[in-house]
Amino acid sequence: MEGSIAILSGDGHLIASSPELASAVTAGGQVMEDKQGRLGFRDGETQKSFAVALKALRVPSPQPIPQIFKVKTDRHRTTAVLQCLLSAKDASDPKNTAFLLVLCKRGSLEGISKELLRQHYGLSKAEAAAVLAIASGSNVSEAANKREITTTTARNQLAAAMIKIGVRRQAAVVAAVSCLMPRLRLGPPEV
């Protein structure tokens, strides 16, 4: 399921998906498609988190905040990032919205090159390291300890990076970085 990506309509219908997601649905994994063609999760707690994330993104907002939730799997910890791709004035109408869903194993975002972040967003090496640490599931204190710097320095580097990326919340940093993942091979759903 790692690297799985889907584009969903406002009411959760699958518009397009990566081959990884299509095979996860077909193989009877944690991701499923119901009879109406809406994407969902077999685990009740994960499905509830997904529904809450969809509902939060349907609230009209000039800059929707990406929603992050955990997906229960048998093998490893997976994180889901749900981000609004398209929203008209009335985001509560499913016909006016589309969402990007990215599923990745916790820690897999570390594979994104610091250089890619530096080029794309103009980050310094330290800022890119701070962003990758947060995007990989560490909190600021853990990131500081791993990099052997103070928590204040790590927080300042992350704050500077967030300004350059154009986001205000750490969840939005994760969404921005996950959108740079190299596995964005989208095609029509194969389910």
Condensed to tens digits (0 to 9), the pLDDT of residues 49-93 reads 898 888 887 777 666 667 777 787 666 667 777 777 665 555 556
What angle, rounded to 10 degrees, do the helices at 170-178 and 151-165 form? 60
Question: Does residue 191 belong to any structural domain of this protein?
Answer: no
Decide: 94 and 88 in contact? Cβ < 8 Å.
Answer: no
Please give the model's pTM, rounded to 2 decimal places: 0.59
CA distance 1 to 137: 17
From 84, 105, 126, the end of a domain falls on 105
Question: Residue 166: which domain range?
Answer: 109-178
Of 61, 83, 105, the residue that ends a domain is 105
Q: Residue 156's domain is classified under what CATH number?
A: 1.10.10.10
Q: CA 161 to CA 131: how far, in whole Å?
A: 7
Residue with tokens 């990989």: 136
- State the Cα–Cα distance between residues 38 and 23, nearest whole angstrom: 16
Low-confidence ranges of the chain (pLDDT < 50): 111, 182-191
